[in-house]
Amino acid sequence: MTDKMPEIRNYVFNFGPQHPAAHGVLRLILEVDGETVVRADPHVGLLHRATEKLAESKPFNHTIGYMDRLDYVSMMCNEHSYVLAIEKLVGIKPPVRAQYIRVMFDEITRILNHLLWLGGHSLDIGAMGMFLYCFREREDLLDCYEAVSGSRMHATYYRPGGVYRDLPATMPKYKPSPWHNEKQVKRWNENREGSLLDFIEDFTQRFPKYVDEYETLLTDNRIWKQRTVGIGVLSPERALALGCTGPVLRGSGVAWDLRKKQPYEVYDQLSFDIPVGKTGDCYDRYLVRMEEFRQSNNIIRQCVDWLRKNPGPVMIDDNKIVPPKRTDMKVSMEALIHHFKLMTEGYCLPEGEAYAAIEHPKGEFGVYLVSDGANKPYRLKVRAAGFPHLAALDELVRGHMIADVVAVIGSMDYVFGEIDR
Amino acid sequence: MAELQYLQEQTFKNFSNWITHSEIANGELTLEVDRHYLRDICFMLRDKPKYAFQILVDVCGIDYLQYGRAEWQTESTTGTGFGRGVKADFSEVEVKWAKPRFAVVYHLLSLENNHRLRLRAFVDEEQPSIDSVVDIWPAANWFEREAFDLFGIIFKGHPDLRRLLTDYGFIGHPFRKDFPLIGNIEVRYDAKLKRVVYEPVNSIVPRILEPKVIRHDHRYEGEQKRD
């Protein structure tokens, strides 16, 4: 009995689902040998809301709002993919102005997403201050969301055939209150005197300096590099095999971007670059996203210029798909009937199927829509960008320390709204 | 467009015996393949340079049980409207779906040739099962687990076919069309027992707020082959 060796076993424990670094509701079962991870088994589905099944019981337009709630940090991009799938099946194209507005808000959304990613990721691995700076900028962009759609997060702004309404000519302003005197409020309102486009332009002028500031704090930071360089290395071959897309694939050195390779809307008329990484570690994925900030900012600026010069309709003029104007309904019987039918029943799509993918901030976000000719989707499949990325987690963290799991989770930018759907 | 037609011709040349149907619609090429030869086709699609589909974008299941069935018939004039808050009743509606009930759909993407392809393989209703493609594209791992979880399709050869999205101990496959939208089981905290209890759903009733209707819109006629 005494000469028996002590039995040594790997230790298995839960990481999450209520862990601040688990980015929501990830239950990760980690098997460790000392401090080294031997196996990571993500248990997902704690946020599963069966969006796809719910969509089957609703007319097409009702589901746009559900799309916002999938990846709840890049709301309008999710809508975009869904709306494109419907437009593909019906065979309509929105007016050019609507396409520019969509592109502009897609890029605003990309910055929103990357800001939250940067704040969360750096908070996870020890840079507390970043979170506050990122949220400072997010505030301005969420104000743009609010100005255009009335909602700061879940916009439901894109519609089949265009966008819900044109860009507003005024920005909402702060009002003096017992807590904030007039002088202070006046300073806050300085860039809100003009239209939404003026406000966005002002933001695009300020933003590159902010990105420089972030980079000053992180890019050459010794601690930041120790935590991210050489961690979670993903080779280009494995990245492709595992179905990775977006910044994760580009971080591994594959220059693949749907905005360039399979352009949708007006991306083929805008100039921007695709940043790629070299080694595919956490640090490269960080660098890729930092450069995407600048590129997105650049695209927004081009859109603002175009939108200023080219007023026009933002919705197609087809009342079989798009509800008529309120003013028309007061005088036109036809418009009233169209409105009634669209509100009570929606519109029917032709029988068939379509897959529409966009370059979402996290990768390829696709919507596969099967229609049997009814006013509801027969089957809706959301191809979430983060889903294969999370499946790749096990491979990425094997052999790393427990603390590196946090760095890898952060650098892959998981959001459970879209993974669990 | 020409590229897609070329791709269609090539696939037809290479796998003519294994493809049951092939069509280009909405600018996308769809191949319906015999599930017994799925793996052979997938290997070729991945490895032959003219296809080079390195990325498996998506795998999903489809249940065609209620395909083409409306909740409210609008073809002929009726004296009745649609009563809200009723259960769906499909008893009187004829079925026009002649193919098997379940299908697995694969979306492929080739970076080199910059094209996409959709494969659809039908599986039996009694024992829905199909070969796994995990060893061809590792990305299929979780997609197949999801399809198994939600539709109950068995992927033969999958290394770890567990449920993915539903609760631990969940019974049934929720995305099948005969699974009720409100579910079968609900969970609540019981203050007396001081624990969470599982019980049959009784807090909500199924309702149909907008009936599903199928209208044959003349604008879409002859557009099925649109590209």
| Range name among A125-129, B169-173, B223-227 with the lowest pLDDT average | B223-227
Which pLDDT value is given to residue A25? 83
Which pLDDT value is given to residue A345? 86
H or E element in which residue B9 lies: helix B2-15
With CA atoms as reference, the chain B residue closest to A357 would be B57
Which pLDDT value is given to residue B61? 92
Contacts of B212 in chain A (CB under 8 A): 374-376
- CB–CB of B166/A45 below 8 Å? yes
When pLDDT is cut at 50, 70 and 90, the band that residue B1 belongs to is low
Do A53 and B174 lie within an 8 Å CB cutoff? yes
- Residues of chain A with pLDDT below 70 are 1-3
A to B CB pairs, distance under 8 Å: 130
pLDDT tens, position by position, B172-204: 899 998 888 888 899 899 999 999 999 998 888
When pLDDT is cut at 50, 70 and 90, the band that residue B225 belongs to is very low
Distance from C-alpha of A214 to C-alpha of A13, rounded to nearest angstrom: 35
Give the phi and the psi of residue B158 in degrees, each rounded to 5.
-70, 135
- Counts for chain A of helices (H) and strands (E), in that order: 18, 8
Whether omega before B174 lies within 30 degrees of 0, making that bond cis, reads no
When pLDDT is cut at 50, 70 and 90, the band that residue B226 belongs to is very low
- Comparing CB atoms, the residue among A48, A243, A373 nearest residue B137 is A243
As given in the structure block, the two tokens for residue A205 are 């002028």
When pLDDT is cut at 50, 70 and 90, the band that residue B75 belongs to is low
Distance from C-alpha of A161 to C-alpha of A318, rounded to nearest angstrom: 8
Which pLDDT value is given to residue B80? 64
Write down the residue that tokens 């004829």 correspond to.
Answer: B94
Write down the residue that tokens 């631990």 correspond to.
Answer: B168
- Comparing CB atoms, the residue among B58, B67, B226 nearest residue A368 is B58
The residue with greater pLDDT, B213 or B59, is B59
Furthest CA-CA distance within chain A: 97
The residue with greater pLDDT, B170 or B73, is B170
- Comparing CB atoms, the residue among B67, B116, B220 nearest residue A350 is B220
In sequence order, which residues have a C-beta less than 8 Å from that of residue B3 and are 6 or more positions away? B113, B115
Do B58 and A375 lie within an 8 Å CB cutoff? no
Q: What average pLDDT does chain B have?
A: 83
**Percent of chain B predicted with pLDDT > 90:** 28
pTM of the predicted model as reported, rounded to 2 decimal places: 0.89
User: CA neighbours within 13 Å on the CB side: how many for B165?
Assistant: 28
Residue B85 pLDDT > 80, yes or no? no
Which pLDDT value is given to residue B121? 92
When pLDDT is cut at 50, 70 and 90, the band that residue B227 belongs to is very low
Closest C-alpha among B166, B73, B59 to residue B123: B59
Closest C-alpha among A421, A367, A375, A368 to residue A57: A375
Adjacency order of strands within the sheet including A11-15: A11-15, A27-33, A36-43
